[in-house]
Structure 1
């Protein structure tokens, strides 16, 4: 059975898109058919990691939401990012959001049909025969975000070790519980290496009563890559990659337990 996995954060700048791209790539590398959909329509960016840059010669989620295309027609095969590290059954697709100023302005002005977006998830899963669909959400809480959380089998909330993130995450956890999300996990990102990660994990879990999937250390190596590729493919033996690899295996486990 296919799984929808939403990756969310209360605030921007948490590394949500980078984490989404890396986890989806690692899950695909293990022989799965994986899709990624960028629902951060007001501020899209995950496409950069897959080499799209600022060019406009491709279909987007906006085209589907405005009735111009089928959602499967705007799904780009980005399996090349695996660089030969996958299996014969590994496939990775991306539905990017438009970076055109006029399209972003229209989204901010008019919004879009959240129910149609959900229908698009199901169509994409069916037509591309996906095992997993990763949803890169827009930060904060909105109708669209709430819908994505509601229809997801797994929700990953990303936060930094920062008081503003801690408070906002508490609100999001409460909302996720009210929506009865079946599997809710936290990911702490950009933790300074001098922190005691084991102690931090225990503190975060105690604070929210939610399991921590992993803690990602802050690293200048991530900054140096500057979104020019998938970190876990470029630096497969890096400490960040090791943590992300463990997360990916936990996500694909049948029980999704920690």
Structure 2
């Protein structure tokens, strides 16, 4: 796999730590209330004293500003460092295409422009120090989801669905896509789980009951909670005053609070290397802190990295330990300069790789790979965790 901008990957790894835990709010299909969940979750976390930002990553149908009462007709200001200053409401910082295009102007964007805007929303915004950066994704499994999953070190994702069988089946596909790019699934939220009568408060299950919990159990991911269908949610979203502030004692607001508490716990559990990191091996700066293996853990999720004379030492979540020599790492590079992208045939002549080659820098690439720069100047390869685990090397001790 090749990287078009390897230097920016490593630079990015070292300059995103101030964004805290980056969590994607995802859904397989539209109309399940994902943005409403994202807006209320952000405000709930802020009310708990956390520093929260929201990226409205639904470039084609941005809705977060309206739900938080942020005017969409005033372009954001720029800082002296030429970064965009995000809007702020209810203690939450926000950036959205709605602030750049207005209510009536459609965002007509091809793939490269989508990537450009997403990069800008995350790296060119004056976020300050955050505890959480929530990414409100558009529905589906397209360019935006893949760009975020592959380019940024997501702490994890929550998947929003309704109790309908069709919605749950599509949510399952979206969840599988996130798993394929090694984004941890922090849990499933069942939205519109029942209708709350505004007069008596009784909950009637219009669609189905318990579908979210069942699919979470079948997929082996946490069920974060269910949010009832309350007319006040719609009214509060339209007025720009989220339900958790306008009716904090309502059953739905209480559900948001419980989900936010569960989410912070799930995000804290980790289970792998803390990303992003940019490890300069020569002086040891930026080396990622090791996590602990977990019984039954994933075989392709690293929990420890170290480098010694014999090579790169990797501890995996399932307890397995592995050593890969620096030369073997260099020879296994699959970037376009080292492998033919069509046939997979090797282009790199092993005789040109020195026996004493060493890695000089290792950085995280999303949640699924690392980039490595070598002493021969080569730095364009991306090494997926799956590919590293598959390399035939002897096991090591005491990682």
Whether contact under 8 Å (2:227, 2:255) holds in the other structure is yes
Cα distance, 1:26–1:202 mapped onto 2, change above 3 Å: closer
Change (3 A) 1:251 1:118: farther
Query: Partners of 2:40 and 2:141 in 1: how far apart?
Result: 24
Aligned to 2:62: 44
For residues 250 and 134 of structure 1, the distance between their equivalents in structure 2, rounded to whole angstroms, comes to 15
Structure 1 alignment gaps of length 5 or more: 64-68, 82-90
The reply on whether 1:219 has 2:201 as its aligned counterpart is no
Rounded to whole Å, the distance in 2 between the matches of 1:113 and 1:105 is: 10
Deviation at 1:71, TM superposition (A): 4.8
User: What is aligned with 2:269?
Assistant: 255
Distance 2:83 2:37 in 1: 23
CA distance in 2, matches of 1:111, 1:205: 34
Segments of structure 2 that go 5 or more residues without pairing to the other structure are 1-16, 195-202, 272-399
Quote the offset at 1:116 in angstroms.
Answer: 6.0
Q: What is the RMSD of the two structures over their aligned residues, measured on CA atoms?
A: 2.9
Asked if structure 2 preserves the Cα contact closer than 8 Å seen for 1:6 and 1:154, the reply is: yes
Q: Deviations over 1:189-223 (max 9, x none)?
A: 00123449985454222333322111111122223
Q: Distance in 2 between matches of 1:201 and 1:145?
A: 22
1:235 positional shift? 0.7
Does the C-alpha gap of structure 1 residues 115 and 231 become closer, same or farther in structure 2, counting only changes over 3 Å? same
Which one has the bigger strand percentage? 2
Distance 1:179 1:8 in 2: 14
Partners of 1:143 and 1:226 in 2: how far apart?
A: 27
Asked if residue 131 in structure 1 is aligned to residue 131 in structure 2, the reply is: yes
Structure 2: distance between partners of 1:120 and 1:223: 27
Q: Does 1:189 align with 2:201?
A: no
With over 3 angstroms needed to count, the CA separation of the structure-2 counterparts of 1:102 and 1:227, relative to structure 1, is closer
TM-score (norm 2): 0.53
Q: Relative to total residues, which structure has the larger helix share, 1 or 2? A: 1
Quote the residue 1:87 is aligned against.
Answer: none
Q: TM-score, normalised by structure 1?
A: 0.79
Q: Which residue of 1 aligns with 2:147?
A: 147
Query: Which residue of 2 is the match for residue 16 of structure 1?
Result: 34
In 1, Cα distance between equivalents of 2:49 and 2:182: 30
Q: 1:32 to 1:189 in 2, by over 3 A?
A: same
Asked whether the 8 Å contact 1:77–1:92 carries over to 2, the reply is: yes
| Alpha carbons 1:159, 1:166 under 8 Å: kept | yes
Q: Is contact 1:183–1:256 with CA below 8 Å preserved after alignment? A: no
**Larger RCO: 1 or 2 (CA < 8 Å, sep 6+):** 1
Instruction: Say if 2:184 is the partner of 1:172.
Output: no
In the TM superposition, what whole-angstrom CA distance separates every residue of 1:99-148 from its partner, at most 9, and x where no partner exists? 537852432x5761526624642454x75111111111111111211222
Query: CA 1:26–1:174 in 2, change beyond 3 Å: closer, same or farther?
Result: same
Aligned equivalents of 1:127 and 1:225: distance in 2?
Answer: 26
Task: Note closer, same or farther for the CA distance 1:224–1:117 as it changes in structure 2 (3 Å cut).
Answer: closer
In structure 2, do the counterparts of structure 1 residues 146 and 43 end up closer, same or farther at CA, with 3 Å as the change threshold? same
1:26–1:102: structure 2 CA closer, same or farther, 3 Å change rule? closer
